[in-house]
Structure 1
Amino acid sequence: MTVQPMSAAQLTRKVIDKEPLFILDVRNEREFADWKVEGENFQILNKPYFELLDGVDSVAHQLPQEEDILVVCAKEGSAKYVAERLCDAGFKRLSYLQGGMKAWSEHLEPVKIGELSGGGSIYQFVRLGKGCLSYVIEADGEAAIVDANRMVDAYTQFAKDNGLSIRHIIDTHVHADHISGGRRLAKQTGALYWLPPKDAEEVTFDYRPLVDGTSIALGGGKVEIKAVHTPGHTIGSTSLIVDGKYLLTGDLLFVASIGRPDLAGKAKEWVDDLRHTLYETYRQLPGHLVVLPAHFSDMRELNPNGSVQEKLGELYRHNKGLRIESDDEFRVTVTENLPPRPNAYQEIRQVNMGKLHPNADEQSEMEIGPNHCAVHE
């Protein structure tokens, strides 16, 4: 019997569809503790590969005989070896994660969010393995891409499959948790690349300034993307109101939490900006706007279709980060006792400013692990 691989796309569907799955993760304990595959109906066991080199007897009694088992490692090889040994030991419902956690980190799943009143649609590209969310907004054959990840082929293939011409690439801020694919995508497609100038004082490349009030039209003006300066996560952080229906908040506001102001080393300087954006700027916007953030931290934030979204008015009722009455308490919340910073966040910022030029393998290694962009996790 040959053990079959499971692709990151297939695993994504199991997460979204809430299917049961038993995962045997054979990475070392430190890597497992930092970051793992998660799903609402998943069970998971960590048993380091080196403990299974002489046989799988030590773990076999902990595994279910009548359930699907997925063996996971960093890049595939170790998981395939262990899965084959388990097959030899009599387990039948086995697979291994094709491409390992590297592939899981890099898979982008497009999910349709909804229609636009001027025609066209908005899609959320969900990166479950990293918690990143990016967007394709399309109208009348034209597309804008917001907060693109470095796996740009996912966007160009989507555009090709749907007959779209990519005209605009927008980064809501200079990211610190993942390497932006914005400039590369703009170069490949000839699209305009937009970036908030207050974040761009040190960048080494040309861009279009995304400032408060900037209006970007799609589909011959059928759909408007309007920029709103919303500092706090970074000094230039900018939100986007799309078609008067959707609010793309970047890393300022999430479904279950709020953004952190410390990833550029300016927590004390930016905390007041963050509070003003969350408690005044956003509060003045219509509550029916659907918030579409750039990240999420927990699979429980996923809706049944796999998307991450919620109306702004609902967030003011349920998001704890929007219900802190005291200025002092807010300051402590967003500057102290925060989650660990993202892996290699300083280097990632340097890459996104055009100052570092790592190769593909180095970029992948820099991004490994969760995003840690939220205050509460």
Structure 2
Amino acid sequence: MAVKAMSPKEAAQKVMNKEDLFILDVRNTDAFEDWKIDGHKFEYLNIPYFDLLDGVEEIMDKLPKDKDILVVCAKEGSSVMVAEMLSDEGLDVSYLEGGMKAWSEHLEPVKVGDLTDGGELYQFVRLGKGCLSYMVVSNGEAAVVDATRMTDIFIDFAKEKNAEITNVFDTHLHADHISGGRKIAEAVNATYWLPPKDAEEVTFEYAALEDGNKVVIGNSTIDINALYSPGHTIGSTSFVIDEKYLLSGDILFVDSIGRPDLAGKAEDWVADLRESLYKRYKNLSMELTVLPAHFMIIDELNEDGTVGEKLGTLFAKNHGLNIEDEEEFRKLVSENLPPQPNAYQEIRETNMGKITPDDEKQREMEIGPNRCAVR
């Protein structure tokens, strides 16, 4: 049988549609345990490639006969070879085109909803990294929020919508992924906005995103209201869009809250984090839909593939919003932290414009799961 390639987009659709898939991951065990393709109904078998060099006969009884099988490795090559061996044994299998490297870079655009006077809001779900980006489209104009370094998808998507990107925002200086915001702004001659308290060391010009800013996209139909909400970083800024949606950056997630330590300031910023979540957010409408910049686990995806939840629901159910004792809160956010993101200091310096790694280096810097939340 011929071995088929499954594109990252096809794999993403299986995640979004909650389809069955059996994944044979042939990376080393530590790489697999650290980071894999998450799916609601996926099953997994991890056998390192080097254990299969003499053949696949010993694992045949561990593979299903009635499910799609996808062989996965880091960059594609090993998975092609294993898939060919399985095909020779009579199994119908696919390999992941481009491997986990390509999976890390795939973005899946999903419509969040309609805005007043005809505008639309889209969420770009980066399933392999847990990153969430956004685009507001209204009356021929578009704004992008928290873009990834895969900039073409945002520029091409705006063109499909017959919209010109006029403004690009980062809610904060990212430490877990390389921002594409400045690159998009330069490519389409848009304004690039960054919170000034996060931008003291940047090497480029930007528009200062400050508390109370209103940026109009389209025919005065959409206000993007900036809400200063420090804690994850000292400059972290949230947006209220169309009085319906709260883009919370990395301050508040559906299942957790943002970590305050990625600039080495955990002790200093815990109070800011609590102030933003327990006072500033508490004063907002509980009917706002919170749209974060990341998600942690696949179960956070809604039925339509979006990630988001009403603010009132999060105040009722999110443990991080329900810790009355300040010392207990401090302990939670300073002691329950996952490992630092890969190369987070280099990523910060890249986003400041201090260093300019080539594309392959940028891929390496980002490899691995998202780690922006308190556990």
Asked if Structure 1 and Structure 2 have the same fold, meaning a TM-score greater than 0.5 normalized by the shorter chain, the answer is: yes
Residue 118 of structure 1, CA deviation? 2.8
Q: Which residue of 2 aligns with 1:17?
A: 17
> Structure 1 counterpart of 2:169, which letter?
I
Partner-residue secondary structure (3-state), 2:282: helix
Cα RMSD of the aligned pairs, angstroms, is 0.6
Q: Which residue of 2 aligns with 1:238?
A: 237
Residue 65 of structure 1, CA deviation? 1.5
**Cα separation, 2, equivalents of 1:344 and 1:60:** 38
Runs of 4+ in structure 1 off by over 4 angstroms are: none
Residue 234 of structure 1, CA deviation? 0.3
Equivalence map 1:166-177=2 (5 Å)? 166-177=165-176
Equivalence map 1:185-224=2 (5 Å)? 185-224=184-223
Q: Which residue of 2 aligns with 1:302?
A: 301
Residue 341 of structure 1, CA deviation? 1.2
Equivalence map 1:71-110=2 (5 Å)? 71-92=71-92, 94-110=93-109
Residue 59 of structure 1, CA deviation? 1.5
**Cα separation, 1, equivalents of 2:91 and 2:137:** 47
Q: Percent identity among equivalent residues?
A: 61
Q: Which residue of 2 aligns with 1:374?
A: 373
Q: Which residue of 2 aligns with 1:118?
A: 117
Residue 33 of structure 1, CA deviation? 1.3
Residue 125 of structure 1, CA deviation? 0.2
Equivalence map 1:260-275=2 (5 Å)? 260-275=259-274
Q: Which residue of 1 aligns with 2:5?
A: 5
Q: Which residue of 2 aligns with 1:42?
A: 42
> Structure 2 counterpart of 1:291, which letter?
V
Q: Is the 8 A contact 1:118 1:243 kept in 2?
A: no
* Residue ranges of structure 1 left out of the alignment (5+ in a row): none
Residue 221 of structure 1, CA deviation? 1.0
TM-score (normalised: structure 2): 0.99
TM-score (normalised: structure 1): 0.99
Q: Is the 8 A contact 1:119 1:223 kept in 2?
A: no
Q: Which residue of 1 aligns with 2:275?
A: 276
Q: How many residues are matched?
A: 375
Q: Which residue of 2 aligns with 1:161?
A: 160
**Cα separation, 1, equivalents of 2:208 and 2:74:** 39
**Cα separation, 1, equivalents of 2:160 and 2:211:** 33
Residue 57 of structure 1, CA deviation? 1.3
> Structure 1 counterpart of 2:283, which letter?
Q
Residue 337 of structure 1, CA deviation? 3.0
**Cα separation, 2, equivalents of 1:148 and 1:325:** 35
Residue 61 of structure 1, CA deviation? 1.5
Please tell me whether residue 346 in structure 1 is matched to residue 341 in structure 2. Answer: no
Moved more, 338-347 or 196-205: 338-347
**Cα separation, 1, equivalents of 2:14 and 2:244:** 30
Q: Which residue of 1 aligns with 2:356?
A: 357
* Residue ranges of structure 2 left out of the alignment (5+ in a row): none
Residue 53 of structure 1, CA deviation? 1.0
